[in-house]
């Protein structure tokens, strides 16, 4: 059940243009069922190296070039996706690299390759054709040499030399559990081809690339989006849902002694999130504190124990995650630090009692009351975002302007609507309309009660429900 798209690398929202007017791409074929049909058309054609797929019109345009071809330019497109054959795009080789169609033209020893259609300085019997892919002076492997792609060199004393292009397996290694792996291996350790992450067959799965943007779920490459032990993929074999990929580790094999140091967090691999101890940032992957109960106070199970809950998060397999004792950790990208609990009926629980590290900057001034009279010059939000000028119209169109309220000077924090939570401002961040300012209350301890005694109130369209539970009960049964 492999998809013909497996041979292509996708660039979403992209079009590829050839700047030479003399060459024209193929015509648009409308009403193609989907991108797979387009791939089926392009795949076997030797002069088709890529195609555009128009998502709205379901159009398909076959292209004889890729982004690595001369005089081409990629640009953003609202409607089109660009699919390019992997053999032309990948910078590493699969197997012996017979299918390699990249543009490396230098040997491992640094010599410039001779053009395949030249017979000088080295004479040879190869004639470039579409079949053998011998193009310009690019490294190729037309004879299936075990050393991978090679070329005749322009040095008369060195007839030919291997180009030393690494296999995709060797080209990128994995740190820790390989969450950052962005290499091009697309087969599992048993040799099965991976299923594309953007397809739901043969296996349905929750890892839609659009939802997990930062996980790099490109094409059908091995990845680790769920904090597994190693990069993996769904396979194109309907009988086997998912399998690990054999990608070497960047770290040398750990000795027992080194392992214990490593586990205790002394070595930080690249790109690891910042370590915290008394609070956690983001999802808490960097939390290394000693909280060891769930939010509700249930003691955590030790990570090196399989009782009462069996699990795969053994400290040895997750050396970078510091799974020490029974401390709350987040080894799998969950919402917050968590643990297996010691209660048999409750497998896992979050440790939300660990406070989040503040992302607020230190207050720069203070205000009285609700801050309606504040006339200071603080012009930053509590997160440190600069305020938008009250007279400006972008990035946000203000409801309060200096015309209606003269105290709205420059981009200073003010409280034109008497907000009980203090002075605020529109922010210069297009994603944050307004926010409270980097200010504190001048005498918070002496504030009168903010609460009012109960008063009669009326509600109209909310808070009503049908309390007849018959249908629900039958459903639940």
Partner 1 sequence: VVGGQPGNSPWTVSLRNRKGEHFCGGSLVKEKWVLTARQCFSSCHEPLTGYEVWSGTLFQNPQPGEPDLQRVPIAKMVCGPSSSQLVLLKLARSVTLNQRVALICLPPERYVVPPRTKCEIAGWGEGKGSSGASVLHVASMNVISNQECNVKHRGRVHENEMCTEGLLVPTGACEGDYGGPLACFTHDCWVLQGIIIPNRVCARPRWPAIFMRVSVFVDWIQKVMQLE
> Which residues here bind partner 1, judged by CB under 8 A?
206-208, 210-213, 226, 282-284, 294-297, 335-336, 345-346, 349-350, 352-353, 356, 359-360, 382-383, 399, 417, 419-422, 431-434, 436, 449-459, 461-467, 469, 472-473, 475-476
DSSP state of 166: P
Q: Given the complex with partner 1, which of 24 and 475 has the nearer CB atom? A: 475
Measured CA to CA, the distance from residue 278 to residue 288 in angstroms comes to: 8
Q: Say if residue 100 is preceded by a cis peptide, omega within 30 of 0.
A: no
Determine how β-strand 28-29 pairs with β-strand 59-63: antiparallel
Q: Cα torsion at 325, 328, 329, 332 (round to 10°)?
A: 110
Distance of CA 249 to the CA centre of its chain: 20
Listed as own residue / partner, the contacts of 267-275 with beta carbons closer than 8 Å and 24 or more positions apart are: 267/320, 268/320, 269/175, 269/176, 269/320, 270/175, 270/180, 271/175, 271/180, 272/176, 272/320
Q: Given the complex with partner 1, which of 123 and 445 has the nearer CB atom? A: 445
In whole angstroms, the minimum distance from the beta carbon of 363 to partner 1 comes to: 10
Measured CA to CA, the distance from residue 397 to residue 312 in angstroms comes to: 52
Q: Given the complex with partner 1, which of 157 and 459 has the nearer CB atom? A: 459
Q: Given the complex with partner 1, which of 123 and 460 has the nearer CB atom? A: 460
Q: Given the complex with partner 1, which of 190 and 391 has the nearer CB atom? A: 391
Q: Given the complex with partner 1, which of 119 and 205 has the nearer CB atom? A: 205
Measured CA to CA, the distance from residue 58 to residue 342 in angstroms comes to: 54
DSSP 196-262: PTT--SSS--S--TTT-GGGT--TT--B-TT--SS-EEEBS-TT--EEE----BSSPPPPHHHHHHH
Q: Given the complex with partner 1, which of 213 and 403 has the nearer CB atom? A: 213
In whole angstroms, the minimum distance from the beta carbon of 81 to partner 1 comes to: 18
In whole angstroms, the minimum distance from the beta carbon of 345 to partner 1 comes to: 6
In whole angstroms, the minimum distance from the beta carbon of 84 to partner 1 comes to: 25
In whole angstroms, the minimum distance from the beta carbon of 374 to partner 1 comes to: 16
Measured CA to CA, the distance from residue 103 to residue 140 in angstroms comes to: 9
Listed as own residue / partner, the contacts of 204-211 with beta carbons closer than 8 Å and 24 or more positions apart are: 205/234
CB of 432 within 8 A of CB of 443?
A: no
In whole angstroms, the minimum distance from the beta carbon of 418 to partner 1 comes to: 9
In whole angstroms, the minimum distance from the beta carbon of 190 to partner 1 comes to: 26
Q: Given the complex with partner 1, which of 83 and 350 has the nearer CB atom? A: 350
In whole angstroms, the minimum distance from the beta carbon of 469 to partner 1 comes to: 6
In order of 135, 224, 245, the CA distances from 228 in angstroms are: 42, 6, 12
In whole angstroms, the minimum distance from the beta carbon of 64 to partner 1 comes to: 35
Determine how β-strand 232-234 pairs with β-strand 242-244: antiparallel
Q: Given the complex with partner 1, which of 21 and 452 has the nearer CB atom? A: 452
């Amino acid at each position: 059940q492999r998809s013909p798209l497996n041979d292509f690398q996708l660039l979403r929202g992209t079009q590829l243009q050839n700047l030479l007017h003399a060459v024209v791409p193929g015509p648009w074929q409308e009403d193609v069922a989907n991108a797979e049909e387009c791939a089926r058309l392009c795949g076997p054609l030797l002069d088709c190296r890529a195609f555009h797929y128009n998502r709205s019109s379901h159009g398909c345009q076959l292209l004889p070039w890729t982004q690595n071809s001369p005089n081409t330019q990629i640009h953003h497109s609202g409607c089109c996706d660009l699919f390019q054959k992997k053999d032309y795009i990948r910078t590493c080789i699969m197997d012996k690299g017979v299918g390699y169609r990249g543009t490396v033209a230098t040997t491992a020893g640094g010599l410039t390759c001779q053009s395949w259609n030249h017979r000088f300085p080295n004479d040879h019997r190869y004639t470039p054709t579409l079949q053998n892919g011998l193009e310009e002076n690019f490294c190729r492997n037309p004879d299936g040499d075990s050393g991978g792609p090679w070329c005749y060199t322009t040095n008369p004393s060195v007839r030919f030399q291997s180009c030393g292009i690494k296999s995709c397996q060797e080209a990128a290694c994995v740190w820790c559990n390989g969450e950052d792996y962005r290499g091009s291996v697309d087969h599992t350790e048993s040799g099965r081809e991976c299923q594309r992450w953007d397809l739901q067959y043969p296996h349905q799965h929750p890892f839609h690339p659009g939802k997990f943007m930062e996980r790099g779920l490109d094409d059908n490459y091995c990845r680790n989006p769920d904090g597994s032990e190693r990069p993996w993929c769904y396979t194109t074999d309907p009988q086997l849902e998912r399998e690990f990929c054999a990608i070497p580790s960047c770290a040398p094999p750990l000795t027992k002694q080194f392992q214990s140091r490593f586990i205790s967090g002394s070595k930080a691999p690249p790109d690891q999130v910042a370590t915290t101890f008394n609070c956690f940032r983001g999802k808490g992957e960097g939390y290394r504190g000693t909280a060891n109960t769930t939010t509700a106070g249930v003691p955590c199970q030790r990570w090196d124990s399989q009782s009462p809950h069996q699990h795969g998060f053994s400290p040895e397999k997750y050396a970078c995650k510091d799974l020490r004792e029974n401390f709350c950790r987040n080894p799998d990208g969950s919402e917050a630090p968590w643990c297996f609990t010691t209660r048999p009926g409750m497998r896992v629980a979050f440790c939300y009692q660990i406070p989040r590290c503040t992302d607020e900057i230190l207050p720069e001034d203070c205000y009285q009351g609700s801050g309606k009279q504040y006339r200071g010059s603080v012009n930053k939000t509590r997160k440190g975002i600069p305020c938008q000028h009250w007279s400006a119209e972008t990035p946000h169109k203000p409801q309060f302007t200096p015309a209606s309220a003269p105290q709205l000077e420059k981009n200073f924090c003010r409280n034109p609507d008497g907000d009980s939570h203090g002075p605020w401002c529109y922010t210069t961040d297009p994603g944050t309309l307004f926010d409270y300012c980097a200010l504190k209350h001048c005498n918070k301890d002496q504030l009168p009660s903010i609460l009012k005694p109960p008063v009669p109130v009326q509600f109209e369209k909310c808070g009503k429900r049908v309390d007849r539970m018959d249908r629900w009960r039958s459903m639940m049964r």
